[in-house]
Amino acid sequence: MKDKLLNANFPKTAEGRVYHVEVKRGEVANRIITVGDPSRAQLFAEWLDKDTPIFRCNSARGFFTLTGKYKGVPVSIMGIGMVLDGQLIIIRFGSCGTIGKGTVGHMVVPKGAFAVTKNFDYFYNYYEDPDMTKNEEKNMKPYNVSEVFYADQEICELLKTKLLNYLPANEIHTGLNATCDSFYSSQGREDDNFADHNKELLTYIKKKHPQAESLEMETFMLYHLAKCSNDALLIKRKKSITKERINEIDKMNENKTNLEIEIKYDENIITTIKKPKNSIRAAATMMIFADRKTDEFIDSSRKKYLETIAGLAVLDVLVSIKLEEEQENDDNEGV
Ligand code: R1P
Ligand code: URA
């Protein structure tokens, strides 16, 4: 999107184009089909009425909108896309809003992330049981705020160091990131058109995680995925060992990062723990686009600057880290 976006709460251009999808009033029909694959959207285009012009819009964020008529009735087909990650070292380079110390145009390298998701049962009870007895009885909240999953701290440090070549230290923030399941409701954006029950949400987030710095939509999933992958250790354990003893020993070894570590599980038992080859190391850095305290949104020249410096920093860091196989090869060659 080239035009300046106004207002951090509901970002739109002066012409009324909305942030992600880049369409404005009148360009989308009230009947919509969404597809994941843009080529499937093209297929629908062939079936639309030939005597009506078809409106097409490819947004910079990969949303594809196509509006025409089918049997005389206006319809839109929207390709919402999918993202696949298959890499072992993943660095997300994204954008975010801030509720922390940062302001628009700063960078965040979040050391950890938590999830903010709608508690759908709360909304179910709200509509089915307007007296709210069920929600009150169970002390249910409209949003779930999870515990923190941490990034790969070495990659975070490298990212911070690279960014320091271009930005002063007080423009790089390393607090926690909230990954939300919506740009709007679960990021505490209020909209009279929806009963989102989110007035208190940002206060609640800051209370649970005082170091909360940023709000966006992907990082937690990445950190969580990496953590799950790292925890999938191949462990050969002697059956006779007790669960309590295993927990105790695991606790002692939780910070070991060696590819293969030998652990003495009991007097005479030596167990090998091998990390699987597909373990994922993950980190993220985001440009602060929206300041939720002041309602300011980034301008295009600062965005361009950050995209360049941080984009190159991410690439440099990515290529500077050795994959496990490369490390193993180096070790075997005695390098
Ligand atoms: C919302 O505007 C999108 O921007 C942020 C959010 O996580 C969400 O995907 O990240 P990116 O700029 O990387 O897409
Ligand atoms: N991305 C988000 O998810 N939220 C913001 O406020 C800005 C970018």
SS3 state of residue 137: helix
| Residue 171 confidence (pLDDT) above 90 | yes
Q: How many structural domains compose the chain?
A: 3
For the stretch 70-90, pLDDT in tens is: 888 888 888 765 543 333 577
226/280 Cα distance (integer angstroms): 5
Phi, psi (degrees; rounded to nearest 5) at 13 = -80, 170
- When mean pLDDT is compared over 243-247, 278-282, 292-296, 322-326, the highest value belongs to 292-296
Selected residue with higher pLDDT from 259 and 289: 289
For the stretch 271-284, pLDDT in tens is: 555 544 446 788 89
Selected residue with higher pLDDT from 103 and 256: 103
Amino acid of residue 279: S
Least Cα distance to 179 among 219, 141, 212, 207 occurs for 219
Residue 15 placed within a domain = yes
pLDDT of 33: 75
- Domain around 259: 233-274
For the stretch 88-126, pLDDT in tens is: 577 788 889 999 999 999 999 999 999 999 999 999 998
Which ligand is the nearest neighbour of the Cα of 61? 1
Selected residue with higher pLDDT from 65 and 264: 65
Residue 63 placed within a domain = yes
Is residue 10 located within the same domain as residue 62?
Answer: yes
Amino acid of residue 327: Q
Residues 21-31: b if buried by 16+ CB within 10 A, e if exposed: bbbeeebbbee
For residue 95 and ligand 1, the question of a CB distance below 6 A is answered with: yes
Distance of CA 335 to the CA centre of its chain: 37
What was the ipTM of the complex prediction?
0.97
Please say which residue of 79, 98, 131 terminates a domain.
79
**Ligand 2 atom nearest residue 189's Cα:** 6
For the stretch 15-38, pLDDT in tens is: 999 998 999 989 988 777 766 667
Residue 94 placed within a domain = yes
Residue 84 placed within a domain = no
Best residue for ligand 1 mutational test, from 95, 183, 297 (most atoms within 8 Å of Cβ): 95
For residue 182 and ligand 1, the question of a CB distance below 6 A is answered with: no
Contact 214, 108 (CB under 8 A): yes
Give, in degrees to the nearest 5, the angle at Cα 143 between 141 and 149: 120
Residue 120 to residues 68, 147, 175, 215: CA-CA distances in angstroms? 34, 19, 28, 20
Confidence label for 41 from pLDDT (cuts 50, 70 and 90): confident
